[in-house]
Chain A
């Protein structure tokens, strides 16, 4: 019961925060940003509470079904967003990322929230490192995707000389580039380590490091996309609009790896 209450409280607070963050994009909205941030932090705390409740009730990290993992994904996105909001003071990023977190939470609420015991085969300390790393990577890639979208919009405005309200509100290209690059340089090692720890865990649980399970295959595809992006950045300084498009593409592929594979491609990673 408590779990339900804190979950729906989180949902409601994220809903309000989303409206406030979107309101920040309106022409005359000077002080919405501060309120939006407070509501989001409240939502984040409620979310943490809900997750801890669930952790205690289930006896393991609540990421074993669609309901739980989507909720945990949203939690990771909000945590990563809050870091960037405080680090770079970019409220407009919230207008792009927080609605995504809300959508993920709504998605989560559509799935059964029943508590299930963990498959004994998966009970291992690796569950923490593998999943937390994977979710961290997902969260950073989500922010990178949002930032890349903003970069594309902002550079479109600059190229076409459409310098309206949204242009004024969006951060500079360099700031967006910096946040995007930072997201990748956090997310990519996390994804890499996530895949490695996953392989070790798989060897323990299923007896094989790599079995070309759809999740594994798609993670590898995701990994290659981000590896290409980072490689380009480190060698030739690759950035700009084309890099932003690839970052958006990487985000969509990552989303498919995370959600699509589970929904449509049965395999070892399918829940329940």
Chain B
């Protein structure tokens, strides 16, 4: 059985392509069922975020499985295959495992270390579990991915850089506003960093969120997520005065907020200070607004400077994270190997044979008047017995070797006989269920 990954992400596809291939979390059941209906696909999980759409699956036929899932992504969304084909990547075996571990650990994110992706994968997995499309391998695989992500988060400081930028933004806001409890956050445009910062402001007590975007539906979607209010982009300046904290990250090629625009806004706000954070490149807000009495403008560079992110340090942390991923891949591969039929049968045989030999030796040791051929006879008897007992299960396993339930049998066998093969820690899986 093999794990395969097919998908596209911010690294291979632009937003407009990603949007077309995205799955709505509200109606994930049908695509999950359709995925499992594909020939040769045994288990499947669909992960769909604004930055990536990925399908994790298990199959016996790697090339065929990957090919069919690639097609499926285009067909399901009624897109010409040629449109998305150049943006797709696919992995199998160790590369697939590495990819998913890295994605879950946020090593593949646009903002490396941002914590949301883990939650998104957990949710996606939750749907697959709910609709029964994930099985023994993907269950184990994704739980492992979650624990890898946890290790990376706790053992490296990779997450601190992304979080610390929004943390710094909140700390700065506290130096302007004192309490955030009656403050409103305005998001102009969408972006991972912006959303992250907005979330941070909300968890630190900000009162509400306004969202605007050139595409109103996007604003609406994000506003729903934050239980906020969406504003049509054209009406931005009618609402700007309501915002105390403004986060911008649009793709606009020119400034969308200038000092001239803000003068009237400041008056409407009775000169109360505004904290503006411009994350966009090129910038959305004319830096000259910082000279206005009531406006405090920070861009990404300023914030990064605030947290004094040491580039050399970050590199080291990333290396540490990759080392953790590599270590966990070896562990997981061991477990995967145990799901192969032959090694399991060999292990079972070895196990029983060890028991047999031990018992024969014990019997002979306590048998005073044993005839000279006693050992030979005992050997024959016990070996024949074990062969007879193992014959039926071995045949059954080999026969179902092509079917979907093999993994289940093998896993049960390993558990029932406590087979040493590819020792994976049982405690580990228990801990993951929390």
Contacts and interface: CB of A to CB of B under 8 A. Distances in A.
A172 B176 contact: yes
A90 to B, nearest CB: 11
B298 interface: yes
B290 interface: yes
B271 A159 contact: no
Interface string A134-166: 000000000000000000001100110101000
A173 B273 contact: yes
Give the most central of B267, B273, B305: most A CB within 10 Å: B273
A158 B294 CA distance: 11
Contacts, number: 51
A161 B305 contact: yes
B271 to A, nearest CB: 5
Nearest to B303: A161
Interface in A227-245: 236-242
A241 B266 CA distance: 14
A237 B175 contact: no
Contacts of A173: 175-178, 273
Nearest to A232: B271
A240 B272 CA distance: 8
B290 A159 contact: yes
A18 B406 CA distance: 80
A237 B296 CA distance: 18
A133 B273 CA distance: 33
Interface string B163-186: 000000000101111110000000
A172 B271 contact: no
B272 A172 contact: no
Interface string B279-299: 000000000001101101010
Contacts of B177: 172-174
Give the most central of A158, A171, A238: most B CB within 10 Å: A158
A175 interface: yes
Nearest to A173: B176
Contacts of A8: none
Contacts of A178: 178
A148 to B, nearest CB: 14
B273 A238 contact: no
B270 A158 contact: no
Nearest to B298: A161
A218 interface: no
A242 B294 CA distance: 10
A240 B175 contact: no
A206 B305 CA distance: 66
B272 A158 contact: no
B306 interface: yes
B302 interface: yes
B293 A161 contact: no
Interface residues of A, number: 21
Given A172-B177, A173-B175, A175-B178, A158 B271 contact: no
A161 B306 contact: yes
A167 B171 CA distance: 11
B272 A237 contact: yes
Interface residues of B, number: 22
A211 to B, nearest CB: 40
Contacts of B172: 158, 163
A174 B273 CA distance: 8
Contacts of B271: 236-240
Contact of B174 (A154, A163, A172, A242): A172
A91 B60 CA distance: 70
Contacts of A238: 271
B175 A154 contact: yes
Nearest to B168: A163
Contacts of B179: 174
Given A173-B273, A240-B273, A240-B294, A161 B176 contact: no
B204 to A, nearest CB: 14
Nearest to A160: B290
Contacts of B272: 237, 239
A233 to B, nearest CB: 9
Contact of A172 (B175, B267, B270): B175
A239 B267 CA distance: 11
A178 B271 CA distance: 14
Contacts of A155: 296
Contact of B306 (A163, A171, A172, A237): A163
Contacts of B306: 161, 163
Contacts of B273: 173-174, 240
Interface in B243-299: 267, 269-273, 290-291, 293-294, 296, 298
Nearest to B176: A173
Contacts of B267: 236
A119 B176 CA distance: 52
A184 to B, nearest CB: 15
Nearest to B306: A163
Interface in A169-199: 170-175, 178
A241 to B, nearest CB: 5
A158 B178 contact: no
A128 B174 CA distance: 43
19 contacts: A154-B175, A158-B172, A158-B296, A159-B291, A161-B302, A172-B174, A173-B176, A173-B177, A174-B176, A174-B178, A174-B179, A174-B273, A236-B270, A236-B271, A237-B269, A237-B272, A238-B271, A240-B294, A241-B293
Interface of B: 172, 174-179, 267, 269-273, 290-291, 293-294, 296, 298, 302, 305-306
- A-B pairs, 8 with minimum CB distance: A237-B270, A172-B178, A240-B293, A174-B178, A175-B178, A237-B271, A173-B176, A158-B296
Interface of A: 154-155, 158-159, 161, 163, 167, 170-175, 178, 236-242
Given A158-B176, A159-B291, A236-B271, 6 more contacts: A159-B290, A172-B178, A237-B270, A237-B272, A238-B271, A242-B293
